[in-house]
Structure formats: structure tokens, C-alpha cells
Amino acid sequence: MNGAIYVRHVSVKDAAQVAALSAELGYPSTVKDTVTYIQAIDKSICDVAYVAVNGETVLGWIHVLYTIRLESGPFCEIGGLVVARNAHGKGIGRLLVDKAKKWAAERNIITLRVRSNVIREGAHAFYIKNGFKEFKQQKVFDYTIGTDNLSEKTAIENTKVSE
């Protein structure tokens, strides 16, 4: 790497490199889908995404979002953070996290949260080194909207009939 590494807002022109880094993280995505995601984040008042670059090379990215929970109030969360494998140990992750901390502080939010897969021990060490404290462990469950669930479909149809 020659020259300075700096952090800037992600752009659709970064989509191919962002998609490649997402795949390194274990979340493969097409460039087309990544463009769509970047455009949605750009339009959002609750989300921001930054890239760390050296020249035209994207070395890492971070997505930060503002969220609020009824039981615990507002906080910001790192939705994703990845640094290219060949750029680990160069302070890029810290630069991106510092940018996330600044974004949260600008919104008067005092908590920045991150969730990390239990198998990512290196990431856990990174976050602890950067001032994060483990808060809890949890399981994540997904439900795919629109899947055929006969009991729900039947219940909806029965509701319509009785109205």
C-alpha cells in the first residue's frame, strides 16, 4: 500500500470491491445487489456506510445504523465491518470503528453496539482491544416472509370468511 489510507462515504462505484469484501466476511452478494444496498443506505437517515481506501482500492467497509428498542432506548449498531485479509493489522478496522463512534456521537448516542458470530474469535479480540465490552450472548432466528405456512394461511382465510 502506497499513500494515505482515508475513510469516506461508500459510493456505488465501490460496489464490486464492497461485494468482494462481503464475500470474505461470509456474505456473498452480487454487485447489482450491493449497488441496491448502497443506494438504500444513502437514502436512509438511520444508516451510513463508509469505506477505508488507499487510492482507488477499498480496504474495508463499515455499516452503522441508528436503532431504538422499546425496552432499552436508542443506540447505534455496527451492522457490518470487514477489512481485506491482506490489510489486517494496519489499523484500518480501528479507523472505521472510530468513524462509527464519531457518527454515533454526532447523534448524541452514547452506546455503539456490535454483534459478532461466536466463531469469530479474532473479531472478538479486535473489539475488546478497541474498548467494547461483551454484553451478552444470543441466538439469531430468521423467518422468511412469504413462505408457505399453511396454518397462517388457513387462519387468514378463516378470518376473511368470518368478517
> 101-117 burial by CB neighbour count: b if 16+ within 10 A, else e?
bebbeeeebeebebebe
Write the pLDDT tens digit of every residue in 101-131: 999 999 999 999 999 998 899 999 999 999 9
Report d(CA 42, CA 10) in Å as an integer: 9
Query: pTM score, two decimals?
Result: 0.85
**Which residue would you say has higher pLDDT here, 78 or 147?**
78
pLDDT band at residue 162, thresholds of 50, 70 and 90? very low
3-state secondary structure of 132: coil
For the stretch 51-107, pLDDT in tens is 999 999 999 999 999 999 999 999 999 999 999 999 999 999 999 999 999 999 999
